[in-house]
Amino acid sequence: MKGNSTDTYTITLDDDVMVHQIIERSTKIKTVGMKDPEELLSKIEDLHPIAVFIDIHLGTSRTGLEILPNLRTAWPFCPILVITGTPAEHTIVKALNSGADDFIRKPLIPDEVDARFKLRMADAAQKAAKEVVEFGDIVIDSAHRTVEGPLGKRFASPIEINLLACLANTEGAIVEKDALKMRCWGQIKVTDNALHRKLHAVRQLLKDVTHGVHIETKYGVGFYLKYHGQEQQLDAAS
């Protein structure tokens, strides 16, 4: 395609090569076309797309829905648009619940493909602008996966940083357990144990960088981030 740098590309996973071509032309962004979900999964760590288009019905043993959580985990901030030729609403809802950001219907309409793509790219840009989040006396940098506070700076795993950023983004409001799982793993099938282990790791990490910010548990509801710094300062002053 003309006018695009070689390192900017989308990925289109569809067993119909015509779809790759139509999406590339509609968005005017080069697309790396693939037909097999296994191929995409095997290359996932080497690929850095700006957006992903994925067909739900692939004519293979695996559906697009099944690999959505893997894509969401690998590319937490990348817009994922599912392509569906089946009008059934439950399929679309399932796709959105599995980590997709939007859907487009077949037959593809070039103007609609481009409009939805641009909309999701704009959303992603907004999210990226919030990649550095401040909460209390800590700074969470999702892009570099660091958390910095008065006691020091720590690196975090992708899931840990997502978890902390998700809690910080709500500015102290409670985040439900399933919402946290969806945001960090791209699915809600994750066990409560796995979530608690990650929360424990993040609590340890917080202790290394600050005494002021803690993760609080609202039993049966969810979790939230609390800043005790001001209370501590007042206590110290009195």
The residues that touch other proteins, with contacts defined as CB under 8 A, are: 15-19, 21-22, 25-26, 57, 59, 85-86, 106-111
Q: Which is nearer to other proteins, 110 or 150 (CB)?
A: 110
Q: Rounded to whole angstroms, how far apart are CA atoms 182 and 32?
A: 27
Q: Rounded to whole angstroms, how far apart are CA atoms 92 and 64?
A: 12
Q: Which is nearer to other proteins, 110 or 158 (CB)?
A: 110
Q: Which is nearer to other proteins, 35 or 154 (CB)?
A: 35
Q: Which is nearer to other proteins, 59 or 172 (CB)?
A: 59
CB of 55 to other proteins, least distance (A): 8
Question: Does residue 210 contact residue 218 with C-beta atoms inside 8 Å?
Answer: no
Amino acid at 187: Q
Amino acid at 163: L
Element (H, E) at 177: helix 177-185
DSSP string, 112-168: HHHHHHHHHHHHHHHHHHTSEEEETTEEEETTTTEEEETTEEEE--HHHHHHHHHHH
CB of 197 to other proteins, least distance (A): 40
CB of 15 to other proteins, least distance (A): 7
CB of 87 to other proteins, least distance (A): 11
DSSP string, 201-234: HHHHHHHHH-SSEEEEEETTTEEEEEE-HHHHHH
Q: Which is nearer to other proteins, 2 or 5 (CB)?
A: 2
CB of 26 to other proteins, least distance (A): 7
